[in-house]
Structure 1
Amino acid sequence: MSTVLSVEKLSTFFRTDKGIAKAVENVSFSVDKGEMLGLIGESGCGKTTVAQSILRLIEYPGKVVAGSVYLNGKNLLKATDSELTGLRWREISVIPQSAMNALNPVYTVGDQIIEAILLHDNVNKKEAVERTKRLLELVGIDGERWKSYPHEFSGGMKQRVAIAMALACNPKLVISDESTTGLDVLTQAQVIALIKNLQKKMNLSVILISHDLPMVTSICDRIAIMYAGNLVEWASTKEILNDARHPYSKALLNATPDLSNSEREVISIPGSVPSLVNIPTCCRFHTRCPYAFDRCRQETPEFMEIKPGHYVACFLEEEQNG
């Protein structure tokens, strides 16, 4: 299976009044063609910063300080502004966290999709209108409603419009950044099901950013787990569910209610994510880890492959396998 996106040793820092915040540090993963990758972790772990770094949307006082991001062999971090304009929408697009903020209230939803098509594809206005209608129908909205304004749609329908807009120029990779936040549970399920169906139908590669572990494990092929700016585990969904190795991954699973087993105890994770300004120069999870030993408090574990396709950054693995 061919690789669409390859992120290698990505680091993104922000200057703050209190010092340098290492929002993302030394993160590596890949996404294959037609694959849905779930990027999960608690709030403040760097998930959205990874997405913004990939899309080259980091602005001052933030900066990508190291690493590379290859999209179909092209290094996005070294692309010129004109090259990026050609790649965005056509090669890579994003479904925003809040369609309410992403859609301009003074333009019809159709005009906003049409604008993206005309800017990035060599088509005329009539062709763009017809494509917009088809896109709206693809996401379950009557194509004739392309003349409607955002305020005429419900929250769930706005999110469907945002999905249609992300697909406007037939991209190879779509990043969905917490795209169901703020929606009710039923609408969330409908939007996520829609994304999954479109991914299969169009053979899209998708990065699904979320803190909703049950949802991610239900639809993603692989899962990458972030903690305090680091990637701590990356494996197939089956491996994460049945053989998670990092203590943080296990803690996330234990903190998730299981409706099929009402007797299973839900165990919360003590403590909180450390400040990204004062990150310890050792294992970042050690203060919350029940298995931490002296080495965890003194050194930083390397991200290593413990078996084919299963990567983890934890000294416990080295101790057990070494």
Structure 2
Amino acid sequence: MSTVLSIENLSTFFKTDKGIVRAVEDVTFSLEEGEMLGLIGESGCGKTTVAQSILRLIEYPGKVVSGKVILNGKDLLKATDDELYSLRWKEISVIPQSAMNALNPVYTVGDQIIEAILLHEKVSKSEAVKRTKTLLELVGIDGERQKSFPHEFSGGMKQRVAIAMALACNPKLVISDESTTGLDVLTQAQVIALIKNLQKKMNLSVILISHDLPMVTAICEKIAIMYAGKLVEWATTEEILNNPKHPYSKALLNATPNLSDPDREVVSIPGSVPNLVNIPKCCRFHTRCPYAFDRCLNESPELREVTPGHYTACFLEGDKNG
């Protein structure tokens, strides 16, 4: 497999009246062709900021201050506006968090998909209409419904339309940013199953951003766990489930109900994510970590490979592995 996306030491800060918010700092991970990676963590950990940084959608007072985002050999952070225009939709696209906000209420859903195709592909209007019908049918919607307006669809169907739009120009990489938020549990399961089926069928590379650990572990090959703007662990799903290295990863698993072991006690994580304004150089999880020691209060652990393919940022693992 070839590497589709490689992120190296990505940092994105926001300038505020109270100081610099270090929303994302030194994040590093990669995504292979046809692979689905789950990017998880509590709200406020920087998951969506990572996605927006990849897509170059960070606006003032935010700024990507360092790092590389390599998509199929091209550094998106150095790309010109014209290059970005040609890469978005065709090479990389996004399924937004809220289809309600992503769809224009005064245009039919078909017109909105057709517009994206015509702007980025050299095809005729009739070909774009035909492709739109095929895309809607691919996500489980009658192709004739392309003449309908967004308000004529349920929440789940709107989300399916948003998925169809993301696939309009056959991208190699799709970022799904909390795309099931606000949907009922049954519809969530249907949408996630649809994304997984399309990923396999089209050999897509997918970054699935979520705080839903059970859902992510069920469908993703790899998992990257973020805490307070930092990547604290990155490995295969099997490794994360069976051999988590970081105390935060272990805490997330302990705080998640397990249907295969319903008698296991669910333990909540005490405290909350720290304020990221002018945060001192330390382990950001130390105030909630039962294993913290003096070094954790004075230094920030770097992400390192502790076993083949398994990366974590924890001094405990560093001490164990020399």
TM range (shorter): over 0.9
Aligned positions of 1:5-24 closer than 5 A: 5-24=5-24
- The ranges of structure 1 where at least 4 consecutive aligned residues each deviate by more than 2 angstroms after the TM superposition are none
**Once the 2 structures are TM-superposed, how far is the Cα of residue 260 of structure 1 from its aligned partner?**
2.1
Aligned to 1:155: 155
Aligned to 1:175: 175
Q: Deviations over 1:21-40 (max 9, x none)?
A: 00000000000000000000
Aligned to 1:191: 191
CA distance in 2, matches of 1:126, 1:236: 44
**Once the 2 structures are TM-superposed, how far is the Cα of residue 122 of structure 1 from its aligned partner?**
0.2
CA distance in 1, matches of 2:174, 2:53: 14
Aligned to 1:38: 38
2:80 is aligned with 1:86: no
Aligned to 2:306: 306
Secondary structure at 1:194 match in 2: helix
CA RMSD in angstroms comes to: 0.5
Q: Deviations over 1:199-248 (max 9, x none)?
A: 00000000000000000000000000000000000000000000000000
Aligned to 1:51: 51
Q: Is the 8 A contact 2:306 2:318 kept in 1?
A: no
**Once the 2 structures are TM-superposed, how far is the Cα of residue 263 of structure 1 from its aligned partner?**
1.2
2:213 is aligned with 1:216: no
**Once the 2 structures are TM-superposed, how far is the Cα of residue 278 of structure 1 from its aligned partner?**
3.6
Aligned to 1:271: 271
Q: Deviations over 1:123-171 (max 9, x none)?
A: 0100000000000000000001100000000000000000000000000
Aligned to 1:249: 249
Secondary structure at 2:299 match in 1: coil
Secondary structure at 1:119 match in 2: helix
CA distance in 2, matches of 1:249, 1:13: 24
The letter for the 1-side match of 2:5 is: L
Secondary structure at 1:83 match in 2: helix
**Once the 2 structures are TM-superposed, how far is the Cα of residue 280 of structure 1 from its aligned partner?**
2.8
CA distance in 2, matches of 1:146, 1:263: 48
User: What is the identity percentage for the equivalent residue pairs of Structure 1 and Structure 2?
Assistant: 84
**What is the aligned residue count?**
322
2:302 is aligned with 1:289: no
Moved more, 157-166 or 270-279: 270-279
Aligned to 1:135: 135
Moved more, 19-28 or 254-263: 254-263
Q: Is the 8 A contact 2:10 2:25 kept in 1?
A: yes
CA distance in 1, matches of 2:156, 2:146: 16
CA distance in 1, matches of 2:118, 2:7: 30
With normalisation by structure 2, the TM-score equals 0.99
Q: Deviations over 1:94-134 (max 9, x none)?
A: 00000000000000000000000000000010000000000
Secondary structure at 2:182 match in 1: coil
Q: Deviations over 1:11-30 (max 9, x none)?
A: 00001111000000000000
2:70 is aligned with 1:70: yes
Aligned to 1:240: 240
Unmatched 5+ residue regions in structure 2? none
**Once the 2 structures are TM-superposed, how far is the Cα of residue 307 of structure 1 from its aligned partner?**
1.1
With normalisation by structure 1, the TM-score equals 0.99
CA distance in 1, matches of 2:60, 2:278: 20
